[in-house]
Structure 1
Amino acid sequence: RVLAGPFATMNLGDLGAEVIKVERPGPGDDTRTWGPPFAGTESVYFLSVNRNKKSIAINMKDSKGVKLIQELAAASDVFVENFVPGKLAEMGLGYEDIKKIAPHIVYCSITGYGQTGPVVQRGGYDSIAAAVSGLMHITG
C-alpha cells in the first residue's frame, strides 16, 4: 500500500480512469506525512502517486465500511488491493467475496511474495526485494 498499489492506480488515473482511493479514517494514508519535501502539509510523494484520484475515508474493520466498499466494487470495473494475502478476505472483501457481487470485475491483488508459499505473509517493499534478490549487494 506504499508504492505498488498507488503507482499502479496512478497509471490508471493518468490514462483517464476514475480512481477512488480508500483510506482509513483519521490520519488517512501513512504516506501523507512522508517527507520532506512537503507541499503545504502533505508529502510530495503522496501527492505525486495519488494524482488523478478521488479519496474516501472508510473504516474497513466496520461492517458498514465493508458494505460501502462492496457497493463501490459492484459499480466498478477494477478492484486493486495491496494487502498481505488473506487480509481482505478476513474482512469480507477478498476475491471470492467481491466476485459474488461483481462477477464482471477485474480483481488485482498486488503482493510482495505472491498468493501462496512459505513467505506469503511477509510484507514486500523495494528495499526488501533488492536485499532478498541480491541486487542490494551490487548496488549498495
Structure 2
Amino acid sequence: MGPPDRLRGAGLFLMLLLLTTGVLAQSGQISQVTDSGVRNRMAAMNANNAALTVLGDMMGGRAVFDRARARDARRRLIATTGRIPALFRKAHADPLSNARPDIWSNWGDFKGLAKSAQRAARGLDSNSLPRLRKTLPRLVHSCLACHRAYRKDMR
C-alpha cells in the first residue's frame, strides 16, 4: 500500500470513527428508548455500523481481508440501507432519538440520501481488498452526508 492508499485509508478510518462514535453512544441507550419505531431505527443504524466496522477494519489493515465476511457485511448493508425510508417514514419521537425533525420536513431529500446510501452499498465490491478500498469510501460518504444533515449530534 503506497502513500496515497495509506492517506485514503486513514481518511476513511477517520470518517468511520465519526460514524461509529455516534452509533456506539446510542447502542447503550436502545434499551432505554420507549418508542418502538425509534428503537428499530437505532438497531438498524447499529447493524450498519457493525457491518461498516468489519469492512473498515479489513480496509485499514486492522483485520485480514476475508472475502466471505466482507460479502456478508455487504449483504447486511444492502438490506439495512434499503429499509431506511420505511424506518423513518413515520416521525416517531423519543428523547433519546438522534433524528432531526428536518427529516420529515425535507422528506424528499432524506429519502434521496437514503437511496444514495443503498446504491453505494450495492456498489460495494467485496471480492478483493483493492476493490473494497475503491468502493467503500462512497458508502461512507453517503452515510456521513445524511448524518450531517439529519442527525442531531453530527452538525
| Higher helix fraction (1 or 2) | 2
Larger RCO, structures 1/2 (Cα 8 Å, 6+ apart): 2
Give TM-score, length-normalised by structure 2: 0.29
Give the TM-score normalised by structure 1: 0.32
Bigger CA radius of gyration:
1
